[in-house]
């Protein structure tokens, strides 16, 4: 798969995740928020809880679950990015980190993906 196609598929996966969250009555506050520590794929509100959502897209589980890619190093980067976000957008509410796995069957965007949502995936 070309780099451009891979980027398009990644954006599509993030759009699918945001749409899924809206369907679950989350309010999307930011998508692809960037800072010097990295990127927050989605920042959303689930009722009174602020959620930092990492989206992982795969074509299959052939090489393991997508959520397994959010290792300790990635979690640390997400925590740092969340702290940077909170410096600019202060919040006094419960917070959590979620992971959404998107499985694009055969790497195709013309089929509905499988979506798995892991709430409070790490502390």
Please tell me the distance from the alpha carbon of residue 41 to that of residue 97, in angstroms, as a whole number: 11
Sheet containing 49-58, strands listed edge to edge, beginning at the edge strand earlier in sequence: 27-35, 38-46, 49-58, 95-103, 114-122
Q: Which DSSP string do the residues of 25-55 spell out, in sequence order?
A: T-EEEEEEEEETTEEEEEEEEETTEEEEEEE
Q: What is the pLDDT along the chain (123 residues), one digit of tens a residue?
A: 567 777 888 888 999 999 999 999 999 999 999 999 999 999 999 999 999 999 998 876 666 676 678 899 999 999 999 999 999 999 999 999 999 999 887 666 777 889 999 999 986
- What the block records as the tokens of 79 is 């925590």
Listed in sequence order, the residues at least 6 apart from 119 whose beta carbon sits closer than 8 Å to its beta carbon are: 96, 98
């Amino acid at each position: 798969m070309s780099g451009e196609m891979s980027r398009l598929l990644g954006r599509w996966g993030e759009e699918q995740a945001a749409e899924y969250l809206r369907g679950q009555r989350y309010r999307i506050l930011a998508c692809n928020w960037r800072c010097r520590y990295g990127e927050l794929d989605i920042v959303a509100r689930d009722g009174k809880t602020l959620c930092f959502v990492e989206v992982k897209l795969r074509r299959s589980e052939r090489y393991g679950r997508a959520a397994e890619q959010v290792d300790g190093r990635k979690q640390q980067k997400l925590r740092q990015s969340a702290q940077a976000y909170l410096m600019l957008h202060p919040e006094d509410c419960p917070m959590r980190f979620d992971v959404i796995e998107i499985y694009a069957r055969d790497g195709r965007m013309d089929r509905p993906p499988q979506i798995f949502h892991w709430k409070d995936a790490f502390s």
